Amino acid sequence: MEQRDAYQLLQWYQQMGINLAVAQEPLDRRGQVMVKPPVKSVVTSVISTDLRREVASCQTLAELRQLMMNFDGCDLKKGATQLVFSDGNPQSSLMLIGEAPGAEEDKQGRPFVGLSGQLLDRMLATIGLDRRSLYITNILPWRPPGNRQPTASEIALCLPFIEKHIALVAPRLLLFLGGVAAKTLLQTSEGIVRLRGHWQDYSNPYTAQVIPALATFHPAYLLRSPGQKALVWQDLLQVQAAAKRQLLTPDDR
Ligand code: URA
């Protein structure tokens, strides 16, 4: 192979999120007999029962982080550089939740530090918020290869982590960034266009706490569709007003 071709191939690997060799030599799998995988739902539910028990025993964010670092049950971990746990102030009353780390987050180990994170920071600054005054994390703690959409089973597998994460931070307000976070945590198939802009009750399975939650568009979507920024701006003003009052009354919804 020419050096130029090899370089292009490497660049393609990098874009697709392939940064791990699973064997020394390539293996031609064409013509191999496929072994039928076990029924997925059974595997997933067995893993989640065990995982839920371990996750439930975590008393602190440090314990949860350690448990997640030791967890090998999610294949996304194999392709990721590192766990992306959170950023910001865990004492904050406002917790933001996105989808999954991208390339820059995977490199730095912090959520929302790439282009969409920079846009998010600029928008949050307009309502007087920064990483010292909010706490931020994702539904998934490992980067999906090539920034592809996380699958339903990856989300289901990692759900106990984010649920316990919310329980330990115990924020007074939640802001879901994008459809994946909103749909997962509000347990709905409703799309983000309908979900955004309305306060809803989020119920956490680890605590008795019900937290007011607002969904808005993901900043990566705003990079592609800047015309939608006005709607996110309206959502952020709602967050600002609610954060000032801390506790929402039913009239605010
Ligand atoms: N998009 C997300 O949802 N989360 C990040 O951390 C970065 C980009």
Distance 68 CA to ligand 1 centre (A): 18
Pocket test for ligand 1, best of 97, 110, 116, 137 (most atoms within 8 A of CB): 116
The rounded Å distance from CA 51 to ligand 1 centre is: 24
Give the separation between CA 79 and CA 112, rounded to whole angstroms: 19
pLDDT at 42: 43
pLDDT band at 46 (very low <50, low <70, confident <90, very high): very low
* 84-128 residue pLDDT tens: 999 999 999 999 999 999 999 999 999 999 999 999 999 999 999
What's the rounded Cα separation, in Å, for the pair 138 and 221? 16
Q: From the alpha carbon of 219, which atom of ligand 1 is closest?
A: 1
Q: Does the pLDDT value for residue 17 go beyond 90?
A: no
Structure tokens at 19: 């940064």
Q: What is the pLDDT of residue 20?
A: 58
Helix (H, G, I), strand (E, B) or coil at 138: strand
Q: How far is the CA of 110 from the centre of ligand 1 (A)?
A: 9
- What would the pLDDT profile of 127-162 be if each residue is shown by its tens digit? 999 999 999 999 999 999 999 999 999 999 999 999
- pLDDT, one tens digit per residue, over 165-189 is 999 999 999 999 999 999 999 999 9
Residue 153 CA, chain-centre distance (Å), reads 14
Instruction: Give the integer Cα–Cα distance in Å for 143 and 77.
Output: 8
Distance of alpha carbon 18 from the chain centroid: 20
Q: Which two tokens stand for residue 148?
A: 């592809």
Using most ligand atoms within 8 A of CB, pick from 142, 218, 222, 223 the residue to mutate for ligand 1: 218
Write the burial class of residue 95 (CB in 10 Å: 0-12 exposed, 13-18 middle, 19+ buried): buried
Query: Could you tell me which residues are beta bridge partners of residue 212?
Result: 201
Rg (CA), the chain: 20
Res. 250: pLDDT tops 50:
no
What is the distance in A from the centroid of ligand 1 to the CA of 36?
Answer: 34
CA dist 110 and 48 (Å) reads 26
Q: Which atom belonging to ligand 1 lies closest to the Cα atom of 84?
A: 6
Report residue 174 as tokens.
Answer: 């939640």
Give the binding-site residues of ligand 1, using a 6 Å CB cut-off. Answer: 98-102, 105, 111-112, 114, 116-117, 138, 220
* Nearest-angstrom CA–CA distance, 177 and 99: 7
What is the Cα–Cα distance from 217 to 228, expressed in whole angstroms? 8
| pTM of the predicted model as reported, rounded to 2 decimal places | 0.81
